[in-house]
Amino acid sequence: MLELFPAGFEETARFDVVELAGYADAAAETALRAAGLGPVSVTLVEAGWEDRWREFHRPASVGGLWIGPPWETPEPGLIPVVIDPGRAFGTGAHATTRLCLELLQEQAPGSLLDVGCGSGVLAIAAALLGFGPVLGVDDDPLAIEVTLENATVNGVAGRVEARLVDARGGALPAAGLALANVSLSVVEAVAPLIVADRLIASGYLDRDTPELAGWRPLARRTCDGWAADLFERIQA
């Protein structure tokens, strides 16, 4: 299948039969029949199918920020944060990301640590809002690569650093504000290791309330069943 459809193919059924779909022209159909892999059926698809996935990636406005893919035009008057949705997690459209962006815009700019930076959307938005220095960490190498690429695209390459770190392993640099849009279990594991005055945490449902030793909750936002919380470090 990879030889016949080098751009990729799709597995459309997974029970007692495996059905594979390749999108190609009539020449590939002839080659597929000749390959004798099994019964072949042909369905015509509408022109433009190659780009149809783009319709699922709509821009989002959060306060003074516009977050959108490179093929959309930013809304005038808003700060554009351009994120290519093709790769690491984080197009900006997810409720947890939007809630973090809301809380972020209410904080005074200063140094910032983004735990679980994904595509870099929060770190890049922070740099564009005047936060600095900004460090994103993630335990996925693709996220580091994509964060640095997106920082360049958004003109903040010199102000956003990204490092491959499992945040549960500690050794996180101190910052004025930390963001952690990860998951409930990672937020609870990482919060005691974060050295910051304030923490914006998300990545969990609004029925979940993280219990973070050393942190006092200040505000909570919810959207579409998800929650984000702003915490303040309890001074010893």
Ligand X SMILES: C[S@@+](CC[C@H](N)C(=O)[O-])C[C@H]1O[C@@H](n2cnc3c(N)ncnc32)[C@H](O)[C@@H]1O
- The correct pick among 121, 126, 201, 230 for binding ligand X (CB under 6 A) is 121
The burial class, CB within 10 Å (0-12 / 13-18 / 19+), for 4 is middle
Burial class (CB in 10 A: 0-12, 13-18, 19+), 211: exposed
Among 81, 125, 129, 137, the residue binding ligand X under the rule CB under 6 A is 137
Q: And the tokens for 139?
A: 């335990």
Q: Where are the alpha helices (DSSP H) in the chain?
A: 26-35, 95-104, 121-128, 141-153, 184-190
Task: Report how far residue 73's alpha carbon sits from residue 182's, in angstroms, rounded to the nearest whole number.
Answer: 29
DSSP 89: S
Cβ atoms within 10 Å of 56's Cβ, excluding its own: 9
Based on the shown chain and the rule CB under 6 A, indicate whether residue 90 belongs to the binding site for ligand X.
yes
Near ligand X in 193-232, by CB under 6 A: 203
Min dist CB 118 to ligand X, Å, is 3
**Which of 60, 67, 104, 117 touches ligand X by CB under 6 A?**
117
Instruction: Rule CB under 6 A: say whether 182 interacts with ligand X.
Output: yes
Q: Are 88 and 140 in contact (CB under 8 A)?
A: yes
How far is it, in rounded angstroms, from Cα 134 to Cα 97? Answer: 17
Q: By CB under 6 A, is residue 97 in contact with ligand X?
A: yes
Q: Per rule CB under 6 A, is residue 59 in the interface with ligand X?
A: no
For position 126 contacting ligand X by CB under 6 A, the verdict is no
Phi-psi region of 214 (alpha: psi -120 to 50; beta: other; left: phi over 0): left
Kindly tell me which residue out of 104, 143, 177, 178 binds ligand X, with binding defined by CB under 6 A: 143
Q: Applying CB under 6 A, what is the total number of residues that bind ligand X?
A: 22
Site string for ligand X, 60-89 (x = CB under 6 A): ----------------------------xx
Q: Quick check: 175 binds ligand X (CB under 6 A)?
A: no
Choice between 32 and 95, CB closer to ligand X: 95
- Among 62, 82, 146, 186, contact with ligand X (rule: CB under 6 A): 186
Residues that bind ligand X (CB under 6 A): 88-90, 97, 100, 116-118, 121-122, 137-140, 143, 166-168, 181-182, 186, 203
